[in-house]
Structure 1
């Protein structure tokens, strides 16, 4: 852990920011227990009351979850992710798919236009990991990594941040409906279209991946 010693001014706020950095950087992944209060207190050089207040604030914000008699766990990577995760608990599947469609279809189009050779390599590697996943956890992580790699290839920082928060909340939803055979061909088609720079094909493959069909044209 690489926490810096907090100065006396605004101790609680400083501790909150440093704990948030550990979460957002991935040092403390979602689902992992954070160090115990005495350890944090010693690492930061502040009193336990200060640590307790900072943890309480992050719990209220939805980033942490205190489990009685067990410890404190990372629940989300940001306030937005925490809010989205709470909302997804009561969301209908079609609502989740509509949001994924809004983000991922546009991301596929942009990725096809903006991808670099390095982006394509990351996408292909994630696709391979998804195909070779040996258990449910590995599959969920590889599936998320594949879609996140596509979003990263857009080089749109706002979209990347939004999807990062949404996908962190989406992890539990994917795990509940995990199906390793789901849309393997569609995922491969997305990667192929992005590699070829074909935005329309990438968008259509993404729709197929999400199980969405575009309505037929009245003139068709």
Structure 2
């Protein structure tokens, strides 16, 4: 089986995590990213709905229980009943409650009805701190999915896919100082890799989870591991895909994921810090 032309690591580790570089990269990229992020305008009803969602997810309102009436909620939050009604409609749209006219509002089974729409709410608590358990779950799902996608892409890619990937990684390197252009090029690169896997479900999954993948990348991967290292990783994965080396492609993705988890959970990097809500 052909191997990628470069060795797996230059100095024993795929990713070097020097504390100084880590801090400087985090501050620089977070500041640059915020320049291109539209401000988040959260309505009062949305804020209330998120608080109610957290109460449902943490068990304060158990499955099958009846929520307080609109009047009681309005008194608790100090708002009009129309604001509470709007917040409850959002919970209903998310599948978290069932509104029974004349009977009340009842909590549904989160495991059966909730979807990826809850990502933003579940990732942070009311105090703004990151929910580490949920973050671990998300990263674990993402990392295993990416490993499978790049493995399949390496086995099934066409020459056309390779040409597109090589063009995009070159464009991406040129765009490292332009965050908006960088995300556009990276999005297209991810789409090409997903398409190269020749699995329609992965392509559909990218359409559904693309926003979340980029939020994770922007808030954690890039600030912690750095733009240059992320670029180097993508170039080497594309090289492994071009060489039709599924094992190398998956290994590179796995080593990147391991380095990120170590940085996040071993040294207390994650916290309130500069975490942003996606618009």
TM-score (structure 2 length as normaliser): 0.44
The alpha-carbon deviation at position 212 of structure 1 amounts to: 4.5
C-alpha RMSD over aligned residues? 3.4
- Match of 1:210, SS state, is helix
The alpha-carbon deviation at position 170 of structure 1 amounts to: 2.5
Contact persistence 1:81–1:168 (CA under 8 A): no
Q: Which moved more, 1:142-151 or 1:89-98?
A: 89-98
Larger RCO (CA under 8 A, 6+ residues apart)? 2
Largest Rg, 1 or 2: 2
1:1-220 pair list within 5 angstroms: 60=93, 82-89=117-124, 91-92=131-132, 93-133=135-175, 134-177=177-220, 178=222, 179-212=226-259
Q: Equivalents in 1 of 2:131, 2:185: separation in Å?
A: 24
TM-score (structure 1 length as normaliser): 0.54
Unaligned runs of 5+ in 1: 1-30, 32-55, 63-78, 214-220
Per-residue CA deviations over 1:163-217 (Å, capped at 9, x if unaligned) read 221222232332223332233322111101101111001101112333459xxxx
Unaligned runs of 5+ in 2: 1-37, 39-88, 96-113, 125-129, 261-279
Cα gap change, 1:128 to 1:91, in 2 (>3 Å): farther
Cα gap change, 1:187 to 1:157, in 2 (>3 Å): same
Cα gap change, 1:104 to 1:60, in 2 (>3 Å): same
Per-residue CA deviations over 1:132-170 (Å, capped at 9, x if unaligned) read 113222223333333332111111111211122122223
Per-residue CA deviations over 1:31-72 (Å, capped at 9, x if unaligned) read 8xxxxxxxxxxxxxxxxxxxxxxxx88x9459xxxxxxxxxx
* Total equivalences in the alignment: 146
Contact persistence 1:107–1:150 (CA under 8 A): yes
Cα gap change, 1:111 to 1:103, in 2 (>3 Å): same
